[in-house]
Amino acid sequence: MGKSAGRGGDRLDAEGGYQGLAAIMANGPFPVVISDMRMPEMSGVEFLAKVRQKAPHSVRMLLTGYADFDAAIEAVNQGNIYKFLTKPCEKSTLVAAIQSGLAEYRESEAQRELAKKAQVIEHAKSDWDAPEPKEVEGLEAAAGLPGLAQAQALLQSHIGTDRQCYVIMIKLTMLHTVEERYGEKAAADYLMSAVQFFAQGLHEGDELFQLNSDVFMAVIRRHISPAAVRMEVSRRFLDCPQHLVDQGGRRTMVAIAMNFDLLPVAQFSTLDKLMAAFKSQLIGAV
């Protein structure tokens, strides 16, 4: 049986891995998730690995017998779980483990909030910021995408470890030119066409973020080689579409031009180092 406990003092029990995952998607995320090692449909290690993908900030624990000790140690080493508990598990031990997990979750949440605030402050000082803050806010609002803080929260659990996770940074090189020549509304329409083009190349589970009026980040996961991923991205983004600008009945075709680069997150120990690499490679080329 997979057990999810935590949010707001609530507790939810599920009979098996798939039911547990469905419950997490419907009612989660939960601060603490506890799973038995042996369940129908999948093992506890497999279940908690999937929980890590769907709710990366949940504190994961594994309940196992002595026969599963080696598998439990492997799970700990792989970083899939916070700790494991041996069966039979006394109620007091289980309660103490849950309390410890809740404390760990709250501390991590506090650290993430501080990191988000620091990133927002740094972002405000960044060279990526346009000189007119009101115009930037308007164009960002036009796309309606999540921003830097949400991107950082997603990447925290993947940075330095997930070999199937990649980040694409994209800069629209013509956006401010369109705004200067044709106005803010035309620039917002141009921006929406670009976002639609980006979204069409994403797979299920990929995420798109807007870091600035003309800078975007796509977080993707691919079960193919890094070379194949780069080829896929290059083929997609090198074929730039045209956008029709209609200004007072006068129509002009403008290319959705962009610079982009891709990096695997497993090569970087921190998000700051990943962002610095993009800044030197992408922004410096603009």
What is the pLDDT at residue 41?
76
Beta strands in the chain (DSSP E): 2-5, 11-14, 32-36, 59-64, 83-86, 165-172, 207-210, 215-221, 242-247, 250-255, 258-264
What is the pLDDT at residue 116?
62
Whole-angstrom Cα distance, residue 17 to residue 41? 6
- CA-nearest of 144, 24, 5 to 63 is 5
Q: What is the pTM of this model?
A: 0.51
Task: Please name each of the domains of the chain with its CATH number.
Answer: 2-108 (3.40.50.2300), 126-285 (3.30.70.270)
What is the pLDDT at residue 271?
83
Phi, psi of 174 (to 5 degrees): -105, 0
Whole-angstrom Cα distance, residue 40 to residue 43? 7
- CA-nearest of 43, 262, 283 to 165 is 262
Whole-angstrom Cα distance, residue 219 to residue 53? 13
Q: Looking at 38-47, 68-77, 134-143, which range is the least confident one?
A: 134-143
Q: How many CA atoms lie within 13 A of 272 on its CB side?
A: 6
Model confidence band, residue 285 (pLDDT cutoffs 50, 70, 90) = very low
Please, what is the average pLDDT of the chain? 78
